[in-house]
Chains A and B, each alone.
Chain A
Amino acid sequence: MSVFLSQYFSFITPLVLVILALLNSGCERKINYERTHYPLPKGIDISECEIGEYGGIFILNETTQPTTFHPQVPNNLSTGMVLSRLFSGLVNYNPKTELFEPALAESWTVSDDGLAYTFNLRKGLLWSDGHPFNAEDVIFTFDCILSEIVDEVTGDKRPLYPSRYYQQFHINDKPIKYTLIDTYTIRFDLPKTYAPFLYDIGVAILPKHILGFSFDSGSFMKNWTTQTAIECPESIVGLGPFKIFSYKPGERLVLEPNPHYWRSDRAGQRLPYLDYLVIKFVSEANTAIAHFATGKSDASGVGAEDYGWVNKAADIYEFSIINRGPSSSVNFFWFNQNPGISEDGIPYVEPYKYAWFSNKYFRKAILHGFNREGIIDAILFGKGEPLHSIIPPSQGEWHNPNVKKYEYSKEKSREIFESIGFTWNQEEKLIDVLGNPVSFNLLLVESARYDQIGITFVENMKELGIEVSLERSDFATLLKRTDGTFDYDMTILGWGSSSAAYDPSGSKALYLSSGAYHMWYPNQKSPATEWEARIDNLIQLQENTLDRQKRISYMHEVQAILSEELPLLFGYTPYSYVGIKNKWQNVYIPKAGSILWNIDEIWEGVKLP
């Protein structure tokens, strides 16, 4: 019998051992990545960073899948994040110096009138497949963006391959001009002085030798789908620090170093140091944070509400959480102030409601009655602050700290309501001048966070005698209703900037009365109010000067007007935290934007506290 048993065990033991080994080794397992060392080109960019060592797997969690690997196909935020690792542009924004730095362009000059930019490219660079890179590729990229065809039906010109960049490179409806000077020089001519030009010019450069054929044959946009990344990742060729190793939708995307990347350290080691960059897909943000808190990913944004418990595990899993202060994400409520009439002849907003919504004192009274401090206290555990301006404090000089502020005060709110002739009836319901009880709908995106905000808002308004009912929809439907059918009373949205390179022109569509994101009354033919006209004017002014101080003062005035007129009822801005494992070196965490902006310089060193 014992013989029999031991026979059994001899079979089981190795299996158990293997499983145990796998369980324990987990992250410790060293994977040897075979690097091919190609000679460094003449034009290589030598990084000033501390010299590191090769090795390490960096794991990141993402909640959304990339929808494409083609930089010019419409995509989402997560795709943008991935693409920025695979491709490079002419210039790069350095959040440390807050300046644009040379990337594929070694240097550039601006003419005195600010209209002509000449870029000199680095020499001797190769694409990730080893093919040489030169100015032809840059020209090709802009051809792809700006080429037009004449529409057979309407006779109008339209983009050959519609992309988000088409509009971006039109200034006052005129396209920029780009000229090939020689193999390594390109000149851009602008129709007009345009301050944020450098901010726009960093688009991903595409390889002509790969995509040129499809550009001619019309299948340009069908290239580099997610299917390509699954079946044939090596055909996606870029100039970025990484290239695709493998892609499993719903599971992970593994990137490996681009052996021809255009940067090296001072010791002549070609960057990036990392062996692999792994982007793991999880179903939701909570899971992503849980993974980080249990040491299963290397870096993660940590929400203000999660800071407390995630930090408890910091010593066990050897990571640190860094407070970046107020984040660049903002949220705001607004009332529908569109005076228009729908196709059926019904006004978008009932006239009596429109009278409330378009009254700035009504809006001020509401904001005074909204317990933003309480939300921050309860939901964010005190880790946030009420927002007072559309440009959050994280944007440094651009933020205007001296705007009008609306603190939570039921008394003030009641005072303002009384001053505009509103009264309360016996049941403590708020009644307007015409005798209508005040009640409206609040449209929310379906999510736990907005539910919490919305419910608090409803409860706050109840105390003022206002009845608010909640309506939920998915994000797309909400946008359709707020800028297409306009059948809503009030709604709330938030946005955050993913990029550290901040320029107020990036949210031009919000400020301009003709803009598509001019939430409360978009796409106006001519400014509806004087203050909107003034903002239009200020935005134009700041765009047409290269003097940073002047631009800042214009934007300060815009913020002052917005908080006086209060078309947007500002919510709060949470403090932003990021966690990263202690072993990673050369990490510099900027105030805003991605913490991995210098992923090519990050290396795995000793575990320092």
Chain B
Amino acid sequence: MGRGETALGRLKIIMWQFIFRRLLTLIPLLFGVSLLVSLLMYLSPGDFLTQARAAKDIDPSFIEQTERQLGLVDEAGNPTPWFIQYGHWLANVSPLKYGPWVGEFDKGLFLGNPYFGESWTYKIEVFDLLKQRVPATLILSLTSILFAWTIAIPLGILAAIYKDSIFDRISAFFAYAALSIPEFFLAILAVYFAAVTGLFPEGGRSSIESEFLPLGLQFVDYIHHLILPTIVLGIGGIAGTMRIMRANFIDCIRSEYVTSARAKGLKENVIMFVHVLRNAINPLITSLGYAFASLLSGALLVENVMNYPGLGQLIYDALIREDQYVVMAGVLVGVTLLVFGNLLADILLGWIDPRIRVDSGQTEQKEKNYSSWLFLILFSLIGGEILLESFFPSCLMVIVQFFKWVGLLLLFLIALGCIALTIYLLLILAKRLLVPIFKRTSGAIAFSILAILYFLSGFASFFAPYPVSEQNLSFPYHPPSHIKLVNGNFEVLMMERVEVGLAQYEVVDRSVPLKFLSKSEPYDLFGFIPMSHKFVQLDSVNPNDRLYILGSDSTGRDIFSRLLYGSQISLSIGLIGISITLVLGFIVGSIAGYYGGWVDFSAMRLVELLMSIPGLYLLLALRSAFMRPELSPVQVYSIIVVILSIIGWAGTARIIRGMTLSLRNRSYVQASRSFGVPVWKILVRHILPNIASYLLVAATLAIPGYILAEAALSFLGLGISEPSASWGLMLRQSQGNMIVFFMNFWWMLLPGLAIFITVVAYNILGDVLRDIVDPKIKI
């Protein structure tokens, strides 16, 4: 008995140690994230006083006073460098203060309240603002997880028990569908649903009546407001959770203890729900931490569309308005929530499954060494920068120039690497995987859909009847043209508006034949091949005869043509983005895995830093740092690709590192090393071919993420801009614009369908690939 107690006691101590250690790692993490965000905010043009400065009725002296108070300018009125601004923020936030600094009069070292600054938009302290917003997002995230799990776990179990039945197929199909609908698109549909049926509020957190209601009813009212956002946010999670649940359950059913339990004559129900379920649910709990990360990102979009006053909406608004302190504090809270989410998942796991022990910290000593070195290097870098900027500002410019050139060179090399790697992977695909893909129906279908999409997108200017932005102001919201077959010829029925004031059309008694492969206005295919024929056109010279295969938008532009041109951006961003990601991920991951030691340690800390910030938060922060209004569409496009890859490579690097780590000690690698083969050759010749198939699977499953991210960014109005087209941007026209719903202009939602089809196809293809390569890998 006494023994048992001590064991339990030790376990408790280990647990507490573990929690304590994890919380301790939070400090450098928060430090790093805040520094990163502060730098990004510093780089972005303008600050939160820009608007105040532009308003002419605000006295300049008032602005100067504020600037000084916030440490944006020094005593002489010159803008302060970033480290002073960050220092100000740090000094304000830290409970241990050393005065006096601007705005504070206490002298010496003292303890004070952490002060997160004031929101410029809301004019209240950031801390008070967060106090209102964080619980809202937290509750929404929790209800979404709860919702997703209560639906996904039973469905996953059923799918596993009745494996390969029709039920399994249907549920798999729904899982793909749910996984592939962009959250913001679903949110638009939900708002529409709420508006039309009146069953649910269209947004907000509480109804007006709740002001005057007793507490109990206020609670009911709150739940009523939570239902729709929860469903929208949770649906994406259902699919993932269900797939994991099903796979685990199948694994567990096949394990030996099930066989022995059956042999023992236990009831099937007991086996399934007492033995199998408990084991199968573990990986789900591990995924909880990740689920939380994606929920925070998703919440940003859903909160914005559904007008739910949470953290995401706050951060988005604050980023747009350069409300610096809100962004800093908001992102930090997001990161902290994530860390706590992961911690909670680990503790839960330890509690549910006593076999899993939190690591007892044998490698700790080594890591401590590394981390102190890492910190030393980091601090000396930052210190050096500060010294340079304070004393030799001109020297700094030279260094910046130097880095610019080195960066360009690197960029060029990476671009070369991308092309090489893409070709290599495509070759692998063709050689090893194409045949198996086509042996499976779903694989063949998905592959063909993608092939057709990319073909159409490549020849967009040939297939599109009109240039990307050719308007016709007489035909706003023209419905899809009616086409009929007359004597073997296709004829288009012309339509006219019923009355000028409305966008309602009726067919008039006049039709224009279609002509195929006929002469057109000259254009350049791929931007350089001069062409003068188009696939399909109206046989008419009257500019008011227009062919709208899929309807027109608010200025009479052809949706079909725009969808084709938009696909060039939406589809290519995924490919280019993933190739950059793979190259970066391969370089960092394989080197880290191959060398191990401090290289590995520092690379992984960088990866963790990037992965600890909710993706969309980082995306928006990077975007505001690098985007300038004067950029051309091509530049905007490249910046978006680069930003997406910067965020994406971390996860890939981690996977590749793991694989390299296991390959490193294989005899053929050891052998080449002993022959003195240079490292890069080993990596490229021996490691790469062995992980190529895995890379391909990872890439296929990751591309939808890029497509969705671009769509989300453009949808928020922060990505591709008019008159260029991208699917996300086209959907933006129907966001909140109730005219689309109330007048039933359904064709405005087609870009959402296009995104959906592409993403479904990629997901199915990725799954098929995974089955072919190795059904057990977790990517």
Contacts and interface: CB of A to CB of B under 8 A. Distances in A.
A276 B61 CA distance: 39
A379 B123 contact: no
Contacts of B124: 225-227, 230, 249
B24 interface: no
A434 interface: no
A250 interface: yes
A306 B742 CA distance: 10
B224 interface: yes
A250 B132 contact: yes
Given A283-B307, A290-B738, A472 B469 contact: no
B208 A57 contact: yes
Contact of A287 (B56, B307, B473): B307
Given A22-B221, A29-B209, A472-B721, A74 B61 contact: no
A480 B739 contact: no
Contacts of A250: 122, 132-133, 309, 313-314
B203 A282 contact: yes
A192 B121 CA distance: 40
A254 B212 CA distance: 11
Contacts of B203: 282, 287
A509 B57 CA distance: 12
Q: Which of A18, A19, A159, A283 has the most CB of B within 10 A?
A: A283
A516 B53 CA distance: 13
Contacts of A123: none
A70 B59 CA distance: 16
Contact of B123 (A68, A248, A278, A286): A68
Contact of B473 (A291, A296, A456, A517): A456
Contacts of B485: none
Interface stretch (A346-354, A361-369, A395-403, A445-453): A445-453
B52 interface: yes
Contacts of A446: 717, 721
Contacts of B224: 19, 22-23
A409 to B, nearest CB: 15
A283 B304 contact: yes
A476 B501 contact: no
A479 interface: yes
Q: Is the interface of A mostly helix, strand, loop or mixed?
A: mixed
Contacts of A251: 204-206, 309
Interface residues of A, number: 86
A382 interface: yes
Contacts of B206: 251
B62 A162 contact: yes
B111 interface: no
Contact of B211 (A68, A162, A246, A443): A246
Interface in A1-27: 18-19, 22-23, 25-26
B554 A472 contact: no
Interface in B54-83: 54-59, 61-62
Interface stretch (A106-114, A370-378, A411-419, A593-601): A370-378
Nearest to B717: A446
Interface string A283-308: 11011011101101000000001111
Interface in B731-775: 732-733, 735-739, 742-743
B738 A309 contact: yes
Nearest to A79: B123
A316 to B, nearest CB: 10
B62 A74 contact: yes
B195 interface: yes
A516 B500 contact: no
Given A378-B474, A470-B722, A249 B501 contact: no
Contacts of B57: 74, 164
Contact of A448 (B46, B55, B732): B732
B251 interface: no
Contacts of A291: 202
B59 A455 contact: no
A310 B4 CA distance: 72
Interface in A33-73: 57, 59, 65, 67-68
A312 to B, nearest CB: 7
A68 B721 CA distance: 34
B741 to A, nearest CB: 9
Nearest to A18: B220
Interface string B569-598: 000000000000000000000000000000
B128 interface: yes
B300 to A, nearest CB: 13
Contact of B202 (A227, A254, A287, A456): A287
Interface in B178-207: 191, 195, 198-199, 202-207
Interface string B527-565: 000000000000000000000000000111000000000
Interface in B122-138: 122-125, 128-129, 132-133
B307 A459 contact: no
A252 B501 CA distance: 35
A234 interface: no
A550 interface: no
Given A74-B57, A74-B58, A472-B721, A381 B500 contact: yes
B51 A379 contact: no
Contact of A451 (B198, B309, B476, B722): B722
Given A19-B224, A163-B59, A290 B202 contact: yes
Interface in B263-291: none
Contacts of B359: none
Contacts of A248: 132
A270 interface: no
Contacts of A67: 121-123
A443 B628 CA distance: 13
Contacts of A195: none
B630 A475 contact: no
A493 to B, nearest CB: 12
A294 B501 contact: no
Contact of B195 (A284, A290, A378): A290
A381 B476 contact: yes
Interface string B206-233: 1111011000010011001000000000
A254 B211 contact: yes
Given A29-B209, A163-B59, A454-B722, 19 more contacts: A25-B209, A57-B208, A158-B61, A162-B59, A164-B57, A225-B124, A227-B124, A249-B132, A250-B122, A290-B202, A293-B195, A294-B202, A306-B739, A309-B738, A309-B743, A371-B473, A377-B473, A459-B471, A470-B722
10 contacts: A68-B123, A252-B211, A282-B307, A283-B304, A305-B739, A309-B738, A377-B500, A472-B721, A473-B629, A477-B45
